Structure 1
Amino acid sequence: MSDKESREVGTKSTRRNFLKNSGLTVGGLVLGGAVGSLFRQNPESGKKTEQTTQAPTANPNLALMFFYPGEYQTAMAAVERIFPKDELGPGAQELNAAIYIDHQLASQWGVNAKDYMLGPFHEPEPTQGEQIRILRKDLFRLGLKGLDDYSNKHYKKTFIDLEGSEQDEVLVAFEKGEADSLSGVSTADFFRLLRNLTIEGVYADPMYGGNKEMQGWKMRSFPGNKMSFTKEIQSKEFIQLEPSSLHDHMGHS
């Protein structure tokens, strides 16, 4: 699909402003971009057939650990709408943000291993953190299913089969908490989790699965994780640094 398609939902925002101003706490969608189908299910054989892009498998760090193929497909479509490809660089799909999310949900973080998850649960004040009973991995799985349920109800299609502007409408409804709740949890909670993980997947160190080839860092001229910047700080001249990953420093003293 062309990533010049019309942006019809919400306040229009560009990647240029996003890259200049955004942090992990900035809310809302970055409209635009599109995503192709990664997997299709052959209804006759029950086997996956390849469409535009294969799921990464050559690199063990890119193998799926949590998502089923259909969930991965939906996640890829959703993250691309949040961080789309444009003239400034690749989108979340190409940057493997969904792989990052997959790995996080498969980890101890996905089961809230370090969180206190026993009651009582109270309605939090605006200044307090979330009080959600459901595990992150379960919330995300319910949220992906919810995207399809809402899409089928309002458009008679699954989320991945919607036009880009329609996908935006679905995500905006989730962001505002206007869709049906997910086992008692607001869709706004799922959207917040989806968006935060998407941005993390774009900018986290590549060793965690996302930020493919450090392209997310390159768009922001971020040098990555280095053991020391002493030499560069002491230099009287400006030094242009190429990004480097934590993986690049493994085995070095």
Structure 2
Amino acid sequence: MAEDNNKEKIDQESLSRRKFLRNSGFAVGGLAVGGVLGSVIPWGTDEKEPQQAANETKNYNHALMNFNQVEFQTVEAATERIFPEDENGPGAQALGVAFYIDHQLAGSYGFNARDYMNPPFFHGEKTQGYQGRLKRREIFKIGIREMQNYSHSKYKKGFTDLTADEQDTVLADFADDKVNITTVSASGFFNLLRSMTLEGVYSDPLYGGNKDMQGWKLRDYPGDQMNYTQVIESEEFQQIEPRSLRDHMQ
């Protein structure tokens, strides 16, 4: 009889404890999401299938760190004309090239951290590259603004509102130094834009571009392989699935 009373008392205490945990979870307004408390709160939501959850995964690497929205859209449109989508595969926009450029300009590369930036400055030959006090991120700010100004002057529309052929004309005029810019060279800005576009297409996806390694796949490039011991003795061409730097962390 005493054993039955003890068992009943234990069951009541257990139920009371579970009730307390459940109520306290609601009382703290969802702070008890994880751990033990989170596991006993009946949220009333259906669990998502693994595939559905995977499809909803966000790419947090695609976030702006330097450009504003207008600047980003301008760069995105310009890079797409430099490396357009065609029957061979995706273009710069689908590959996330504008994000690559944005991230590079937000870091040490954009601040010319490893370059000698002290005067005197001389106007060098084209083969000598840029010599001046402006940092790459500043050159881009000026170049993007001048692209918009030139587009409005020539077509009465912003660069992103132009047709593909009109955008090509604007970019070609910059490349040929047909645009008057007092602070930077028009061709210098275009060459920097073109160079960074190609970098974004073929760099490791870790840096924001080359989304899903599609740029590498266009050229059958294997990416960052740890070794080739499994194919080095093969006499036939081996198609190797590309790997990113991030893949080595898994």
- With normalisation by structure 2, the TM-score equals 0.74
Q: Secondary structure at the match of 1:113?
A: coil
CA distance in 1, matches of 2:113, 2:164: 36
2:101 maps to what in 1? 101
In the TM superposition, what are the counterparts of 1:194-213 in structure 2 within 5 Å?
Answer: 194-213=193-212
2:191 maps to what in 1? 192
CA distance in 2, matches of 1:69, 1:129: 29
Q: After TM superposition, give the deviation of residue 102 of structure 1 in Å.
A: 0.5
Q: Which amino acid aligns with 2:207?
A: Y
2:154 maps to what in 1? 154
Q: Secondary structure at the match of 1:111?
A: coil
Equivalent pair of 2:122/2:132 in contact (CA under 8 Å): no
Q: After TM superposition, give the deviation of residue 58 of structure 1 in Å.
A: 2.7
Q: Which amino acid aligns with 1:187?
A: A
CA distance in 1, matches of 2:163, 2:68: 23
Q: After TM superposition, give the deviation of residue 156 of structure 1 in Å.
A: 0.5
Q: Secondary structure at the match of 2:94?
A: coil
2:44 maps to what in 1? none
CA distance in 2, matches of 1:147, 1:127: 24
Q: After TM superposition, give the deviation of residue 127 of structure 1 in Å.
A: 4.2
Q: After TM superposition, give the deviation of residue 132 of structure 1 in Å.
A: 2.8
Which whole-Å deviations, capped at 9, do the CAs of 1:131-162 have from their partners, x for residues lacking one? 13210001001111111000001111000111
Task: Tell me, yes or no, if structure 1 residue 145 matches structure 2 residue 152.
Answer: no
CA distance in 2, matches of 1:165, 1:127: 29
1:135 maps to what in 2? 135
RMSD, matched Cα: 1.5
1:226 maps to what in 2? 225
Q: Which amino acid aligns with 1:164?
A: A
1:21 maps to what in 2? none
1:180 maps to what in 2? 180
Runs of 4+ in 1 over 4 A off after TM superposition: none
2:59 maps to what in 1? 59
1:114 maps to what in 2? 114
Work out which structure has the larger RCO, using CA pairs closer than 8 Å and 6 or more positions apart in sequence.
1
Q: After TM superposition, give the deviation of residue 228 of structure 1 in Å.
A: 1.3
Q: Secondary structure at the match of 2:117?
A: coil
1:34 maps to what in 2? none
CA distance in 1, matches of 2:88, 2:132: 37
Q: Secondary structure at the match of 1:63?
A: coil
For the pair shown, the structure with the greater C-alpha radius of gyration is 2
Which whole-Å deviations, capped at 9, do the CAs of 1:51-79 have from their partners, x for residues lacking one? xxxxxx93221111111011111111100
Q: After TM superposition, give the deviation of residue 122 of structure 1 in Å.
A: 1.4
Task: Tell me, yes or no, if structure 1 residue 84 matches structure 2 residue 84.
Answer: yes
* Ranges in structure 2 where 5+ consecutive residues have no aligned partner: 1-56
Q: Which amino acid aligns with 2:145?
A: K
Which whole-Å deviations, capped at 9, do the CAs of 1:32-91 have from their partners, x for residues lacking one? xxxxxxxxxxxxxxxxxxxxxxxxx93221111111011111111100000000101010
Q: Secondary structure at the match of 2:145?
A: helix
Q: Please state which structure has a larger fraction of its residues in helix.
A: 2
Percent of pairs with identical residues: 54
Q: Secondary structure at the match of 1:233?
A: coil
CA distance in 2, matches of 1:237, 1:221: 15
Which whole-Å deviations, capped at 9, do the CAs of 1:219-241 have from their partners, x for residues lacking one? 10101111112332223443220
Which whole-Å deviations, capped at 9, do the CAs of 1:176-211 have from their partners, x for residues lacking one? 111121x42111111001000101111100000000
- With normalisation by structure 1, the TM-score equals 0.73
